[in-house]
Amino acid sequence: MDNTRETLIEIEGLYQIFGPDAKNVLPKVKAGASKEDILAETGHTIGLQDINLSVKRGEIFVIMGLSGSGKSTLIRHFNRLIDPTAGKIKVEGDDIMELPIKELTTFRRHKMAMVFQHFGLMPHRCVLDNVGYGLLIKGEKRAEWKPKAVDWLETVGLAGYEDQFPSQLSGGQQQRVGLARALCTDAEILLMDEAFSALDPLIRSEMQEQLIDLQENLQKTIIFITHDLDEALRLGDRIAVLKDGKLVQVGTPVDIVLKPEDEYVRAFAKDVNRARALTVQTIMTADTSKLEGISAKDVRDSFPADRNHAFVFNNNAYQGVLTKQQLDDMQDDDLLETALIKVPTVRRTNLLQDVIPLSLNTRFDLPVVNKQGELKGRVEASKLADVLSP
Partner 1 sequence: MIDSSWLTEFPDMSRRELLAIRQTLDGAYRNFSRNYGESIENFFDPLLYFLVWFENLLIETPWWIVLAAIVGLVYAATRSWKLCTGVLTAFLAIGYFGMWEDTMRTLSIITVCTILSICIGIPIGILMARSDRAKSIITPLLDIMQTMPAFVYLIPVVMLLGIGRIPGVIAVVIYAIPPVIRLTNLGIRLVNKETLEAATAYGATPTQRLFGVQIPLAMPTIMAGINQTIMMALAMVVVASMIGVKGLGQPVLKSITNQYFTLGLLNGLAIVALAIIFDRVSQSYAKRAQKHLEGTENG
List of residues contacting partner 1 (CB under 8 A)? 76, 79, 81, 105-110, 112-114, 116-124, 126, 133-134, 137-138, 165, 167-174, 181, 185, 191, 199
DSSP class of residue 281?
A: G
The distance of closest approach from Cβ of residue 191 to partner 1 in the complex, given in angstroms and rounded to an integer, is 7
**Beta carbon nearer to partner 1, 109 or 383:** 109
**Beta carbon nearer to partner 1, 113 or 369:** 113
The distance of closest approach from Cβ of residue 166 to partner 1 in the complex, given in angstroms and rounded to an integer, is 8
**Beta carbon nearer to partner 1, 168 or 289:** 168
**Beta carbon nearer to partner 1, 38 or 115:** 115
The distance of closest approach from Cβ of residue 198 to partner 1 in the complex, given in angstroms and rounded to an integer, is 8
Strand, coil or helix: what is 65?
coil
Counting DSSP H helices and E strands in the chain, the numbers are 17, 16
**Beta carbon nearer to partner 1, 156 or 257:** 156
Q: How far apart are CA 189 and CA 57, in angstroms?
A: 9
For residue 90, give the nearest of 118, 52, 125, 59 by alpha carbon: 52
The distance of closest approach from Cβ of residue 234 to partner 1 in the complex, given in angstroms and rounded to an integer, is 22
For residue 308, give the nearest of 321, 324, 292 by alpha carbon: 324
Q: How far apart are CA 77 and CA 96, in angstroms?
A: 10
The distance of closest approach from Cβ of residue 244 to partner 1 in the complex, given in angstroms and rounded to an integer, is 24
**Cα separations in angstroms, 347 against 97, 343, 344, 354:** 45, 13, 10, 10
Burial 134-171 (b: 16+ CB within 10 A, else e): bbbeeeeeeeebbebbbebbebbebeebbeebbeebee
The distance of closest approach from Cβ of residue 142 to partner 1 in the complex, given in angstroms and rounded to an integer, is 14
Q: Which amino acid is at 262?
A: D
**Beta carbon nearer to partner 1, 118 or 307:** 118
